[in-house]
Chain A
C-alpha cells in the first residue's frame, strides 16, 4: 500500500522495455514526479462497454494500484471514483477549468438526434451528452487519448449507423492519440500515458496509433503459425487460422509479441481468431470465413471506412483534419 514515488520509478524503469519506453523518457517522468501534484486525468465514458477500463485494471508492469496511488491523479472515472452526482461533475469541471489535464475517452461519441443516445451526467437539472462533455473537457486538455476502437474510430457502435457514432478525433476534428483494441491492451494505455506525461508525443501511424505498439508489419508476418498448415476447422493446435477468417494478415498490433493478461496467452494462442480489433474498420464482417470457395471469390476485407453520418457536434469546432481517418502530427496545445 505504502509505495513511494521513487519505488514506482524503479518499478517503471524496470518495465521500460515492456512499455516500449526509453530510460530518457523515465528520467523526464522522474522530474515531473518530483512535483507536488500528480498530473490530472479525466476519463470519460461514451458509447462504451467499460472493457478498456477493465483491461487497464489488468495492468501488470506497473500494476494499477501503483498507477493510481503514485503516478496519476484520476479526477474523473465514473466506474472507479468515490464521488457521485454533482460532487463527481464538479470534480470534472474544476479540473477542466484549471486545464492541463489529459482527457481520456472510452467509447464512441454518438452524434445523431443531438447526442441523445448517450448522456454522461446531469448538470443544473439538464442532461449533458457525451458530445457536449467531450467538446468542453477537450478545450483545455493538454492531450486527448482515445482508448479502444470505439473511441478511436467508432468501433461496434458505428456499425449500427442509426446513432451516428464517431471516434473522438473525427468528432472533434482534431488529432488525438488513438489506442484502438477491443479492448486496448493495458500496456498500450499506460505506456502512452507515461510517454505523454514525460512531455513527448509517441510517433503515430496514419491512423493515429503509436507505432511502438501498432506495428507497420501485420501480425501474420510474425505469426509463429505463418508457415503452418491451414486449419479446416477450430479445435486444432498449431495450425494457421487464415482460412477460418483470422484477420492477422490485416492487423497491426503487437499481440503476438506482448501477449495478454500478464503474458498468459493471446487469441491465436488458443487457436482462436484474430478478429482485427485494432483496425479502423473493426468490426469488418464477416468475422468467420464462410467457405473455401467464397473466400477465394471475396476480396480480403480492406480498411474501407464504413458509412457514417456527417458529424454534427453541438458547437462546431474548427475543422483541422480533412477527414477522420487522416491524422496530422500531434501538436501539444498550450495551457
Chain B
C-alpha cells in the first residue's frame, strides 16, 4: 500500500512549488509537481506598446530577469526585421552573463547545498532535515564558509552587471534596437576587476566544492535521470545574425550523442491537467492563449505542459552543455550540478574576452520604428534553461504575447495523454530513507534549479 507524501512548500527554489509523491518499499512510485501561483503577464501586455514588454517581462522573475529582457527585445527585433549593433550584442551578453553567474552561484551554495550539509545552528538554517548528512565536520564547515563567501560573490556578480545595466535585478539597459548604455573605459575596468575575482572563485572554489559533493554523494549520479530528452535554444550570440553562439541550439533524444535540430513548429503547450481552458488540445506558442480557470477539476498545476513532437524535454545547463558537446558524463542530479559549475566557468571566461571586443568608438543603439504589424520570436536561455517569447504586433500594439519558460518544460504537469512531466518522471525510483524527512525529493527537485514564477508567469 503506497503512502502519500506532500512536500509543500518545496523550498530553496524560486516561487510556489508543491511536490506530491507516493512511495512504496522506500521508493517513489508516483509523482506530481504543481506550480501554485498565477499572475497573468501575457494577458496584461495585450494592447500595450510592444517596447514596454522588455521591462514588464523581466518582472516575471527576480532571479532570472535579464533573459526575459533579452527574449523580449529579440522578439520585437525579429518582428521589425532589424539587427542590433555589435556593441549592443556584446553588452547584452555581458549583463546576461553577470545574471547567469549570480544565479548559478546562488543555486549551488544557497539553494541546493543546504540539502547536503548541516548549516549554522540558527534560522533560517534551522530547523532542517537531519538525514543522510555525510560530510565530515571539517568539510561541512568549509562548505559553510564557502556559503558565506558565495553570498559576496553572488552580490558582486550583480554589481558587475549593474555597471552596464544600471541596476540588478531588473536592468534598464535592454531596449528595442540595442542598449541604452554608452560604454566608457572606466566601466570596462570596473567590470573586469569584478570578473577576475569571480573567475578565481568559480575555478578554485565552486568547481572544487561540486567535486567534493559529488564524491561524497556518488549515488546521486544514478538518481533523478528522467527521460533523458534534452533541449537548448542556445544563448550568447557571437555574431550579428546569431548563427554562432557560445552555447548552441539543439536537441538530444534519450541521452544520445547525436544532436538534432530544433523545429519550433513541433512545440505545443497542452493544458489537460493545468488550470487553463484551451480552444484546442495543444497550441504552438505562436497561436497560444492563456485562459485561466482555477475551478478546472482535473487540473493540479498553474503550469502548462510543453511538449516537443509530443515528448517532454529537460532544459538547463546540462542540456546546453550536452548539446554543445562540453559535458556528456550522464544525466542525473549530480550531473546537473557539475554541468552548472562548468558552464559558470565557461561563461565567465568568455565574458573576459567579450569585454575586449567592446568598441568604444561605435554605437550601442540604433533607433528603429516599431512595426505597425508583424510577428516575432525571441529565443534565448535563462540560467535554468531554454526561454522563448512569441509576439504579435497589430496597429503598433501588442496583439499576442506568449512566454515559454524553462521551468515550464522541466516541471510541467501531465500532458493530455497523461504522460508525466520531466521532473515527475525523474522522481520515480528516488529512494526515501525517512518519509517524515524527504530530503531526497528536495535534492532531485532542486537539481533542476526551478523557477516557478517564471513557469507560471
Contact = CB atoms under 8 A, between A and B. Distances in A.
Interface of A: 1, 38, 40, 45-55, 57-60, 63-65, 68-69, 73-85, 87-91, 110, 113, 116-122, 125, 127, 156-157, 159-160, 162-163, 165, 182-183, 232-237, 260-262, 264-273, 275, 277, 283, 285-288, 290
Interface stretch (B124-132, B212-220, B241-249): B124-132
Nearest to B436: A86
Contacts of B61: 49-51
A74 B38 CA distance: 26
B453 interface: yes
Interface in B133-180: 144-145, 148, 151-152, 154-155, 158-173, 175, 177-180
A90 B172 CA distance: 40
Nearest to B162: A261
B120 A69 contact: yes
19 contacts: A1-B145, A40-B123, A49-B61, A49-B65, A54-B102, A57-B154, A77-B124, A79-B11, A84-B11, A88-B9, A118-B16, A160-B39, A160-B40, A182-B170, A237-B182, A261-B168, A266-B166, A272-B181, A285-B49
A272 B49 contact: no
Contacts of A76: 124
A101 to B, nearest CB: 11
Contacts of A38: 122
Interface of B: 6-16, 18, 36-41, 43-44, 48-49, 51-52, 55-56, 59-63, 65, 102, 106, 110-111, 114, 119-120, 122-129, 144-145, 148, 151-152, 154-155, 158-173, 175, 177-182, 190, 292, 294-295, 363-367, 437-438, 442, 453
Contact of B114 (A82, A264, A287, A288): A82
A89 B165 CA distance: 38
Nearest to B11: A84
Among A40, A237, A271, which residue has the most Cβ atoms of chain B within 10 A? A271
A272 B166 contact: yes
Given A89-B9, A260-B168, 14 more contacts: A51-B62, A51-B170, A53-B62, A60-B155, A74-B124, A75-B123, A81-B12, A110-B37, A163-B292, A235-B365, A236-B182, A270-B164, A275-B55, A275-B172
Nearest to B145: A1
Nearest to A77: B124
A237 to B, nearest CB: 4
A85 B20 CA distance: 11
Contact of B123 (A55, A73, A183, A273): A73
Contact of B62 (A49, A160, A290): A49
For B39, B52, B173, B367, which residue has the most chain A Cβ atoms within 10 angstroms? Answer: B39
A234 B175 contact: yes
B442 A84 contact: yes
Contacts of B49: 285-288, 290
B179 A235 contact: yes
- Output the residue of A53, A286, A287 with the most chain B CB within 10 A: A287
A52 B65 CA distance: 12
Given A235-B364, A261-B159, A270-B165, A85 B438 contact: yes
Contacts of A75: 123-124
B38 A118 contact: yes
A47 B55 CA distance: 18
B124 A163 contact: no
Nearest to A237: B182
Contact of A265 (B44, B65, B167, B367): B167
A270 B364 CA distance: 12
A335 B59 CA distance: 36
Nearest to B191: A264
A267 B177 contact: no
Nearest to A38: B122
Contacts of B442: 84
A136 to B, nearest CB: 16
A127 B127 CA distance: 22
Contact of A157 (B39, B154, B294, B366): B39
Nearest to B115: A82
A48 B124 contact: no
A46 B365 CA distance: 37
Nearest to B114: A82
A269 to B, nearest CB: 6
Contacts of A162: 40, 43, 292
Given A83-B11, A288-B51, A55 B151 contact: no
A285 B182 contact: no
Contacts of A82: 11-12, 114, 119, 124-129
Contacts of B151: 57, 63-65
A208 B63 CA distance: 27
A119 B151 CA distance: 29
A288 B365 CA distance: 16
Nearest to B47: A285
Nearest to A92: B9
Given A50-B453, A85-B438, A286-B49, A63 B59 contact: no
